[in-house]
Amino acid sequence: MINFELTEDHIALRKTVKEFCDGEVAPFIKEWDEKSHFEKSIFTKMGELGLLGVCIPEEYGGAGFDYISLGLVCEELEACDTFLRVAMSVHVGLNSLSLLTWGTEEQKQKYLVPQAKGEKLATFGLTEPNAGSDVIGMKSSAKRDGDHWILNGEKMWISLGNTADNFLFFCWTDEEKRKNRDHSGMSCFIVERGMEGFSSGTLHGKMGIRAGDTGYFTLQDVKVPQENMLGHEGEGFKIAMFSLENGRYTVASGATGVIRASRDASVDYANTREVQGQKIGEFQLVKQKIADMQADYEMCHLLWLKAGWLKNIGESSTKAASLAKWQATIRSEKAASMAIEVHGANGYINDYPVERYLRNCKAAVIYEGTRDIHTLMQADWALGLKKEPKARVSLPSYKTKEAAG
C-alpha cells in the first residue's frame, strides 16, 4: 500500500536542509548569481550534514536514509537555488548510486565511501559536444592495453565538471559495435581528476544556474587499470540508463521545489503589493495564477513521491521517474513565468528571485531527457508500443526500513 506520510526523520531532515539553505546560501545567492561565482565551500558543509550521502547505506559512509529523503533534500535545495540540487543530482543520483549498485567492494571502499562522507565530489560524463539525447552517437573510446585501458574523449555540459574529484566516463570499447550502433559495445570507467592526460574547464555565458559549475572534461590517452571499469565490459549503456533514472528522480523533486518557491514568492508579493488601494492578491487573475501554481506543486510533489516509493520497495521507477521529471520541469517553467507576471515589472529585475527561478529552471527541461523524449516515452507506454518497464537492477530496498537516523 502506498503511504506518503512523512516520518519524523523525514521532517527533521527537511528542517535541517531548510535551515542550511536559509543560513548558508539564501543571503548570498543573489551576489553569487550576479558574479557567476561558484562557492565550493558550500559542499563541504553539505557533506558535514550528511547530505552528500543521504541515501547511501551507513556501511559505506552514508546517512542511511531512504529515497524519499533524497527527494525531500533535492526539493528543499532547489527551492533555494538550482545549483545546489544539480550537485546532488550528479554526485548522488548519477554517480554514487551507480557505484553502490554496480561497483565492486573495492570500488565502493575507494570511491563511494569518501563521496558519501563528502570528502570527495563526483560527477557523471555521458554527454558530448555532438551527442546528447543520442547516446549512441558518442565518440569517446577505450582501447585495451594489457591489464589497463587507454581512454580518449571529451564530455560536455558536465555539472561539477571543473570541480569534481571523481568521474564516471562512458565510452566505446568495441569499435565494430560502435559502427553498427550497437550499445552493447559501451563500457563505463571510474576516472580521477589527477590522472595523467585529464583536463577540464568551465563553460561561461550560461542563461541560468550561474552560481553552479558547468563545464567539460577531456581525456587524452588516460591510462586506467582494469579494476576501474564499473560493471563488466559492454554494460556501459545499461549503467547509463540506470543512472539517468536516478538523475531524473532528483531533477523531478528539485523542479517541484522551483514550483513551490515561485508560488511562495507570488503569495508574499500578492499579499503586500497594492494597486488602486487593493492588494493584488484580491484580483481574480492573480488568484488564478497562484491557484495554478498550487495545483502544479501538489501534483508534481505526488508524482516524485510515487517514484521514490517505488525505489524504496525495490521496484522499477523508470516510468514514474520519467513522468515526474517531464511534468515537474515543464510546470516549473510555467510557474516561474507566472510568478514574474504576478510581480509585474518587478519580476523582471533581480531585486526579486523569480527571474532567477525562470532562468534556472529552463535547463531542467533539456537535461536528463528533453520534454520531447519523455513525451514520446510516455506515449509509447500508453499505446503499448513499449513494454511496461521492469527493474534492470534494483537499488537497495527499504521495505523494512522507512528511514534511518
Catalytic residues: 368
Asked if 120 contacts 131 with a C-beta cutoff of 8 angstroms, the reply is: no
- Cβ contacts of residue 77 below 8 Å, gap of 6+? 17, 21, 84, 85, 88, 254, 257
**β 214-225/229-230 pair status:** unpaired
Cβ-based neighbours of 234, under 8 Å, separated by 6 or more: 173, 174, 184, 185, 186, 187
In this structure, are residues 391 and 316 in contact, taking their beta carbons and an 8 Å threshold?
yes
Greatest C-alpha distance within the chain: 79
Q: Are 41 and 211 within 8 A, CB to CB?
A: no
In Å, what is the CA distance from 89 to each residue of 92, 129, 280, 303?
6, 21, 37, 18
Phi, psi of 397 (to 5 degrees): -85, 150
What is the DSSP annotation of 253-321?
A: HHHHHHHHHHHHHHHHHHTT-EETTEEGGGSHHHHHHHHHHHHHHHHHHHHHHHHHHHHHTT---HHHH
Alpha helices in 117-234 (DSSP H): 175-179
Helix orientation angle between 284-312 and 67-80, rounded to the nearest 10 degrees: 150
Q: Which residue has the cell 525562470?
A: 358
On whether the CB atoms of residues 62 and 212 are closer than 8 A, the answer is: no
